[in-house]
Structure 1
Amino acid sequence: MASTPRVLKLSFEFHVAEDSISNIQTRHLERAVDRIETAVRTLGADSFPWADRLVVNREWNYAWWANTERAYAEYDLPTNGYNSPE
């Protein structure tokens, strides 16, 4: 009998102030998201040694990335004694 899939989902939301008139340029937004993703990937293997992959979903208020390759990423994490069957 197969085991029930287990997924830990963490969500973070960065909200732009409603009265902000700042022009949030795409390249700055992409760079910020890439930096956060890199930090999570770096911590992921050590913090969650039982996990075998990290799935990253990107969403923006206007769903600009909804139909692009930047909308979703999945990474295999290193195999260890917790996340691989014996």
Structure 2
Amino acid sequence: MVSDVETMIGACCEGAGIAQVMELGSQHIMDTGKLVEIFSDWPDEIFPLYAIYPSRRHRAAKVRVFTDFCLRLLGRADSGAILA
């Protein structure tokens, strides 16, 4: 069992097996053709992501900018994907 994602992806690129990895960190490798999706009909797993901060009302500007950045990056700018 490999717990380091980079090692796991490297092993897969060398033909050592298959892995379930998040698209966010592997799409660039899939674009090169080194990795291919093999279970396209398998439903995606959703990994929750939480931001915890003292108060929604007095959120520091840097916290707001970071959480907004994460929401845009994950394509969820219109949802409450990051919760307090």
The structure with more strand, counted as a fraction of residues: 1
